[in-house]
Copies of this chain bind each other. A is one copy, B any other.
Amino acid sequence: MAQTGRAGRQPASYAAPVRGVSVTDHFFGRLRETVRTRMLPYQWEALNDRVPDAEPSHCLENFRIAAGLAKGEHGGFVFQDSDVYKWIEACAWSLAWHPDEALLSRVREAVDLIAAAQCPDGYLNTYYQLTAPEKRFTNLLNNHELYCVGHLLEAALALAEVTGEEKLLNTARRAVACVRRHIGPEEGKLHGYPGHEVLEMALCRLYEYAGDEEALSFAKYLLEERGKEPLFFEEERKRNGNRFYWEDSAFRYAYCQAHMPVKEQTDAAGHAVRAMYLYAGMAEEARLTGDEEMAAAAQRLWESVTRRQMYITGAVGASAYGESFTYDYDLPNGLVYGETCASVGLAFFAERMLRLHPRAEYADVLEKVLYNGAISGMSLSGTEFFYVNPLEAEPKRDALVEAFRHVKTRRQPWFSCACCPPNLARLLTSLGNYLWMTREDRLYVHLYAAAEGRVTAASGTARVAVRSGYPWDGRISVKTEVEEGEVTLALRVPGWCAAWEVSLDGHPVEASLEEGYLVLPALMTGEHEAVLDLAMPAKAMTADRRIRADHGKLAVQKGPIVFCLEEADNGPDLYELAMSPDAPFYVETCKGELAGMIRVRVPGYRVYDDVPKRETPALYHPAGALRREPFTLTFIPYCAWANREEGEMRVFVNRL
């Protein structure tokens, strides 16, 4: 199957992701295989309502009804169509590295059905088509018509890029054209924008793929119109009597980032998934149009997210209410929402920032999310999922106390709102797109997952192979076979790394550090091997002192992997365990369910106030002496939590 990705259409000063990279990595390989062999087939069954004992998804049936091929009523959410689109996108990326005629024919079946369901004027949204065709585009605030078109376009572009088949893309372009006939700056059109962003990103991608200037200018319009006074969503409510679910919330229109024009926004706010998709779209549009004001806004929001509102796992969205951001440094470990989709969205945002400007800070976050808070959303078996990714789990509390009931301590087989699993699937199957970028004469290696591919820089072409034992081992080999001209390697030094050595062809080499990347001398024709050795000791981490929830606590990290304590290894009452940052950290290989991973053992203590029992057991008593019982704390990778028996978990542990 041909990789038909076309040339990017942005100025050369920006970075271009390398396409067609083949991921040979063991860590991600296992997850990707699980997605390919279990999730994608399982989801096909789910989309077809053929999973025994599961509520029907109605997904494909909705399209069949809309196409006149079946009778019935619309089922599921207003955004139900997007599950099909995300599944197609995930399949498309998977076909790029694992051709599969059977899968392709399922995809074609879905594509045909979608095309058949489309209205003659291009409109496509089975919810409105089947329930209230006269009401289309009357509730952009709450309903997800533009969101669905965005995902349709993303799927169509992936499928076209990977297979060269453009049938779905034609459907998507007709759907966009229909949207555009109703929405835009022209008089008589709705001056609206999506209640849930994603179309902005997708339109930028359409421009890149097909050179469609109209798509880019529409993306720009959607971004720039958002949040302007008088507020479209307010006007729409007055006109159509729509409900606003967040009327009494503290965030109100910030829920959908419409509280002010996007270029004026400085603080990540509202629904975290919506925010991530918006910010990624802003970065994308800034790059493609050269809009420096938009780029500056994207950078400010990046800083707001990653320097003030992000968990150590890469989770974002501290509050379950509105699945939303709250405010700077408010990062409670147990109440957290940390939706899997929001972490996936943060990966999108990081990738767009890297393309704007290759800076290790962005790749650090991309790496953090990929190895921790995103993949924690999926069991090792690939069949069970978390919507919410807490940094502290207490099964009893999380079952009984309403404020915590969004936190599950066992992964679920599927969700009625099945956004997260396919989102994770499309991220993992497209992982090859995230690893490397070219910019002028340089090949930027952002991530050290083992991979191979052919790289075309401005100055030359090369075959490149990265080998590593990442994320467990920090020694990375980058072999290049320069075929033409010259290529310069820019190897990222992760933010977590305090010491490294780099050699070229077996000899130490002078390499300048530019924005977190080691820039090696230009490589001329022939074979070369650069070896980067990143010191990767397990170590104790602390949070910024303004994060109240983490005061007096430590987390354990080794390389990009964040660890956690689980009851399975440590017994209950994890809140009594404590350790010193100066304790020895013993790194061991995991056995059993977690084989292939490493764990960290740290001698510490169980600490408690040793008060003698009294006759009347009072709940509160004069402070006694602190008792410290030696206790060895066993940490496992956070991404692998909740794969054994249900129990407590925590990332941050008391500091001695």
Contacts and interface: CB of A to CB of B under 8 A. Distances in A.
A620 B576 contact: no
A48 B555 CA distance: 59
A377 B618 CA distance: 24
Contact of A403 (B308, B321, B547, B616): B321
A82 interface: no
Given A495-B616, A495-B618, A575-B551, A540 B623 contact: yes
B547 A619 contact: yes
Interface string A606-631: 01110100001111111110100000
Residue among A401, A405, A557 with most chain B CB within 10 A: A401
Contact of A544 (B394, B554, B619): B619
Interface string A195-227: 000000000000000000000000000000000
Contacts of A620: 312, 541-544, 555, 557
Given A539-B622, A544-B620, A399 B250 contact: yes
Given A402-B322, A616-B495, A576 B547 contact: no
Residue among A321, A396, A609, A621 with most chain B CB within 10 A: A609
Residue among A250, A312, A400, A552 with most chain B CB within 10 A: A552
A397 interface: yes
A484 B284 CA distance: 94
Nearest to A625: B581
A251 B399 CA distance: 11
Interface string A231-247: 00000000000000000
A83 interface: no
Nearest to A656: B626
A28 to B, nearest CB: 23
Interface string A323-353: 0001100100001000000000000000000
Interface in A273-322: 306-308, 310, 312, 318-322
Interface string A547-559: 1100110110100
Contacts of A581: 622-623
A354 to B, nearest CB: 15
Contact of A575 (B310, B541, B548): B548
How many identical chains are in the complex?
2
A642 B446 CA distance: 52
Nearest to A578: B552
A654 interface: yes
Contacts of A576: 545, 551
Interface residues of A, number: 63
A576 B329 CA distance: 14
Given A542-B611, A607-B552, A250 B403 contact: no
B402 A542 contact: no
A622 B542 CA distance: 6
Given A361-B616, A400-B250, A616-B361, A540 B622 contact: yes
A498 interface: yes
Interface in A372-404: 394, 396-397, 399-403
A146 B394 CA distance: 39
Contacts of A320: 402-403
A546 B238 CA distance: 53
A4 B249 CA distance: 53
A545 B608 contact: yes
A263 interface: no
A655 interface: yes
Nearest to A405: B250
Contact of A541 (B335, B544, B621): B621
Contacts of A626: 655
Interface in A399-413: 399-403, 405
A346 to B, nearest CB: 13
A619 B327 CA distance: 14
Residue among A397, A607, A616 with most chain B CB within 10 A: A616
A591 B626 CA distance: 36
B552 A654 contact: yes
A542 B607 CA distance: 13
B608 A402 contact: no
A77 to B, nearest CB: 19
Contacts of A541: 620-623
A249 B552 contact: no
Contact of A545 (B319, B400, B552, B609): B609
Contacts of A322: 402
Contacts of A401: 250, 318-319, 321, 326-327, 330
A617 B307 contact: yes
Residue among A403, A540, A611, A621 with most chain B CB within 10 A: A403
A210 B416 CA distance: 60
A251 B307 CA distance: 39
Contact of A327 (B318, B321, B326, B400): B400
Contacts of A249: 402
B624 A542 contact: yes
A402 B619 contact: no
A495 B326 CA distance: 42
A555 B619 CA distance: 13
Interface string A163-185: 00000000000000000000000
Nearest to A551: B575
Contacts of A551: 575-576, 608, 654
Nearest to A400: B250
11 contacts: A250-B399, A250-B402, A310-B619, A312-B619, A319-B403, A320-B402, A541-B622, A544-B618, A548-B573, A552-B552, A552-B654
CB-based closest 5 A-B pairs:
A321-B402, A581-B623, A540-B623, A545-B608, A542-B609
Given A320-B403, A552-B607, A581-B623, 4 more contacts: A251-B400, A306-B619, A394-B548, A540-B622
